[in-house]
Amino acid sequence: MDYLERIQRSLDWMEANLHEDIGSHEGAREAFMSPWHFHWVFKAMVGETPGDYLRKRRLTNAAQELAHGDKRIIEIAMDHQFESQESFSRAFKKHVGATPGQYRISRPLLTVLSKRMRLTERELRHRTGGMTMKPKIVSKEEFNVVGMVIKTTVKENAEGKTIPRLWARFNPRVKEISNVSERISYGICLNEKGFDPKTFDDVAKFNYMAAVPVKKLAGIPKGMALRTIPAQKYAVFTHKGSLDNLRFTLEYIYGTWVAKCGYELAQGPDLELYDHRFKFGQQDSELDIYVPVK
């Protein structure tokens, strides 16, 4: 079963359980994936997070019941896993443009607010604009890094630039690390240890580390941490251009490449490698993305 089929399997399961209290663990289980990779592959293939997709499908289903049924609004809210009628009304108005009560009174011709998703390879190619990137497959031995770690979310980083701010704190302090082995830096998503899979959304927390490789396990500056990155096989992609366009590369990797690559995504840290090719804010900049595979 390839990753396209896995995500479709999870979509079908979500559709069959719109009225149930389901979480990311179950969605990942249906796709035979870790919660971390499930989140990213789903978002890349479907175009939104599992949480956003599920919320929109529930609201569409609720709209159908409002327009064509006589259940009380509070019952519909509870049936679709909203904590209260108030929270349901806020979400419904934001998505539909009217409160549940207004929608029911007007009894509009029902428009499909969110279609049930059916994935195809053609759709994935369209979404990535025909992008093609052939990765290098490399094996890295175990190595050690020293750096600074934060716990953040995709949403926090998008709104508050938490990861760039971490690098702004870390870069001036690299000189405090006395045993650096190479003049490179790593951005490390410590996904298996730090990821909080209780939510389907971009508010799931994960640990991110800005770090440099070190020769020996000694002399760790105050406020920094040591991590040992285990030996691992990686698919290495080179992102070219501004960091503003990095999401397109990630969407290609997780949305198109994994669908037919012949490799399994492995549990383990995802790496960003920054060396002399990286030029912040410039179009001729390059960085490497290491995706663990097996």
- Domain ranges, ordered by start, for the chain: 3-118, 136-293
Show Cβ contacts of residue 126 under 8 Å, excluding neighbours closer than 6 positions.
Answer: none
For domain 136-293, the CATH class is: alpha beta
pLDDT tens digit string along 10-33? 999 999 999 998 877 788 889 998
Measured CA distances, 141 to 144, 191, 228 (Å): 10, 19, 11
Task: Look at residue 157 in the predicted model and tell me its pLDDT.
Answer: 84
Q: Is the pLDDT of residue 227 over 60?
A: yes
CA–CA distance, 188 with 211 (Å, rounded to integer) = 8
CA–CA distance, 49 with 158 (Å, rounded to integer) = 14
CA–CA distance, 282 with 32 (Å, rounded to integer) = 39
Q: Is the pLDDT of residue 121 over 70?
A: no
Mean pLDDT on 219-223: 90
Task: Look at residue 228 in the predicted model and tell me its pLDDT.
Answer: 93
HSE-CB of 197 using CA atoms within 13 angstroms: 19
At 60, the amino acid letter reads T
Instruction: Name the nearest CA neighbour of 68 among 119, 15, 107, 20.
Output: 107
pTM for the complete prediction? Answer: 0.79
Mean pLDDT is lowest, of 63-72, 121-130, 207-216, 228-237, for: 121-130
Q: Topology of domain 3-118, per CATH? A: Arc Repressor Mutant, subunit A (1.10.10)
Task: Look at residue 95 in the predicted model and tell me its pLDDT.
Answer: 84
CA–CA distance, 294 with 266 (Å, rounded to integer) = 6
Contact 44, 251 (CB under 8 A): yes
Task: Look at residue 26 in the predicted model and tell me its pLDDT.
Answer: 86
Task: Look at residue 194 in the predicted model and tell me its pLDDT.
Answer: 46
pLDDT tens digit string along 179-216? 899 999 999 998 644 455 555 666 678 899 999 999 97
Mean pLDDT on 128-133: 60
Mean pLDDT over each residue of the chain, to the nearest integer: 86
